[in-house]
Homo-oligomer: A and B are copies of this chain.
């Protein structure tokens, strides 16, 4: 239960910062820095308790790589979605009256961007937070948070930059992405996570 509380709190603040910095008047060009930073600090705070996934694609990748218990998969994703929806409701209250225009991304480029950077995120998580060689390091949160920051600067204009099904759901509730496109994020993000687990197993053969 305390793991699920930590997953909910972390995802809540990630999506809260996304909403408050992206919905106008937001943080403009600094939004990805704020978003990556909030993910970073929540990873540092919650890592020792829940593993600090805050992202169903990351939970899937860790489960497939044998780094997270299978029984945690569904409850973790539930807590992540709950935190995200709660945050999107908080954003709606805090930004009441702000005009929100739903993005309608082009499907093929958006899909490719989402799968590539979710792969990068899960690949970084697996390599910095789960191996013996990297045990005890102080950079895991910085690496994970700044992957999302870099990905948002690079891919935000093409797909909106979710790289996380829980984030995709939250920003859809806020009206930032048209609901018809939600499947892109769900499919591409989970596929990117699964692909990362495969590459991780290949490049870390001593795991087997």
Residues of A within 8 A of B (CB): 2, 5-6, 9, 13, 16-17, 20-21, 25-38, 40-42, 44-46, 48-49, 90, 93-94, 96, 109, 112-113, 116, 120, 123-124, 127-128, 131, 133-134, 137-139, 141-144, 146-147, 149-151, 153-155, 157-158, 199, 202-205
Contacts and interface: CB of A to CB of B under 8 A. Distances in A.
A27 B90 contact: no
Contact of A41 (B41, B42, B143): B143
Contact of A153 (B30, B49, B204): B30
A26 to B, nearest CB: 8
28 contacts: A2-B202, A5-B199, A9-B199, A13-B116, A17-B150, A17-B151, A17-B153, A20-B155, A27-B153, A28-B29, A29-B29, A30-B32, A30-B33, A33-B149, A33-B153, A34-B154, A38-B120, A38-B154, A40-B142, A40-B146, A41-B144, A44-B127, A49-B127, A49-B203, A138-B138, A138-B139, A139-B141, A141-B142
Contacts of A42: 124
**Chain A interface helix/strand/loop/mixed:** helix
B203 A25 contact: no
Nearest to A87: B116
B149 A37 contact: yes
A186 B201 CA distance: 35
A197 B139 CA distance: 26
A200 to B, nearest CB: 9
Contact of A139 (B5, B17, B32, B44): B44
A94 B41 contact: no
